[in-house]
Amino acid sequence: MNDITLRSIALLVSAVSLCHAQTVPVSDSMTLDEIGRAMEAYPPRWEFGDQRAAITASLDKHITVQIQKGWTILSKRQLKPVHEFYLKRMDIGLDKLERTRVTSGVHAFKFYSSSYVFKTAQGTVAVEFSQGPINNGGEPETRDEYGSGFYWRPDQRERLAKLVDVYLITHRHHDHSDYSLARSMTAAGKPMICPAQLKTIWKDFADKLTVPEYGKVQKLGPVEIFTMLGSQMSRNEPTGIGTERRGVPNPENPERDSETICYLFKLAGITFITCGENHVPAVEWLKQGIAQGFKPNVCMSLGQFQGDRAMSAALKTMKPLFRLPLHEYEMMHGGGGNRTGPLMQGRNRAAFDKHQVMPLLWGEDFLITDDAVAFTR
């Protein structure tokens, strides 16, 4: 089959897909089933900005329950259809992750909250993966302290663990790390990178967890990393200088303060930066990473509260970074967590229209190419 034939087939498939999309109505008040159909008809693409804005606004209206101590029977009933929708979306995401063949660039797959899985021609890396709002000191069936049931099925967990080659974790919190994936990967001899603090929590396979060599470039299968050890303190206070805040150690309960890894990681020649929530100044570390060839192209989480000391301020002096939003629908936060609708409104919509940000919903995917991040180079 020659190139002309292949291009003709691709154009025909595109035309059929567009025709199908035009038959799927969208609004900001759809049912979950309607949202699911709209997500498939209007996947994360630049030409679907208006439809994506309606989809995100509509989904926000369904995800309103906070999983917490003393939550009501009514809230649990409201959560059930959302969980069923979530599991369907996880199956869709896993199907795409499994069958997608990547020859260039980085194919991003979005799962729960801050959970991303990145697939390249060289391998697959999970970053900040979490399956749901549960205590991650063990398997969810035994650690679901609020009885939400909002987590993956065992077959889904096993499937993901087989697909992932390396797992990167910033810190111990339930929405940034996952016992199930860590246990399965370490049992298979796959590298799992995390702060030393997690060794005190996951004692049954602590000796198989890898703490990075901070300040050194390391190659782990398909990913290259440059890291710094920071901290997310359980308390912080304003310094009196603008929006600047500083972390305050908790000597009464030091275990509440979290070790946090700042990552610059490189996949298929594209460099990502993510730090979870971090209260330690990291601009000098960022400069060191850039000097060693880790100039970031894609921004995930910086999460600092340090005003002009924060890396976000330092990054503003560079070319715009392509942004992958995260931490949406973290179900232990008020109202079901951060909204996705605002990601397609105002300044965020302007950034989307400039091809500088791509919000992804549960089970969705997007190919990040050299062209997509060209303006960051």
Tokens of 21: 């999309």
Query: Is 39 domain-assigned?
Result: no
Specify the CATH number for the domain of residue 282: 3.60.15
Tens digit of each residue's pLDDT (9 = 90 or more) over 44-54: 999 999 999 99
Query: Is 42 domain-assigned?
Result: no
* Radius of gyration, CA atoms only, the chain: 21
Query: Is 346 domain-assigned?
Result: no
Sign, CA torsion 191/209/284/248: positive
Q: Per residue of the chain (377 residues), what is the pLDDT tens digit?
A: 444 444 444 445 455 455 555 689 999 999 999 999 999 999 999 999 999 999 999 999 999 999 999 999 999 999 999 999 999 999 999 999 999 999 999 999 999 999 999 999 999 999 999 999 999 999 999 999 999 999 999 999 999 999 999 999 999 999 999 999 999 999 999 999 999 999 999 999 999 999 999 999 999 999 999 999 988 877 878 888 777 777 787 778 777 778 999 999 999 999 999 988 778 888 899 999 999 999 999 999 887 666 556 677 778 777 889 999 999 999 999 999 999 999 999 999 999 999 999 999 999 999 999 887 877 66
Specify the number of domains making up the chain. 1
**Side-chain-facing half-sphere of 93: CA atoms under 13 Å:** 29
Q: Tell me the residue type at 335.
A: G
* Contact between residue 235 and residue 261 where contact means Cβ atoms under 8 Å apart: no
Tokens of 7: 């291009």
Residue 79 to residue 83: CA distance in whole angstroms: 6
Query: Is 102 domain-assigned?
Result: yes
Query: Is 357 domain-assigned?
Result: no
| Max CA separation in the chain (angstroms) | 70
* ∠ CA 303-304-309, rounded to 5°: 145
User: Pairing between strand 192-193 and 166-168?
Assistant: parallel
Tens digit of each residue's pLDDT (9 = 90 or more) over 258-314: 899 999 999 999 999 998 877 888 889 999 999 999 999 999 988 766 655 667 777
Query: Is 278 domain-assigned?
Result: yes
- Which pTM does this prediction carry? 0.91
Query: Is 10 domain-assigned?
Result: no
Helices (H), the chain: 3-22, 32-41, 49-62, 73-99, 140-143, 154-163, 179-187, 283-291, 311-316, 346-353
Query: Is 237 domain-assigned?
Result: yes
Q: Tell me which residue range forms the domain holding 240.
A: 64-336
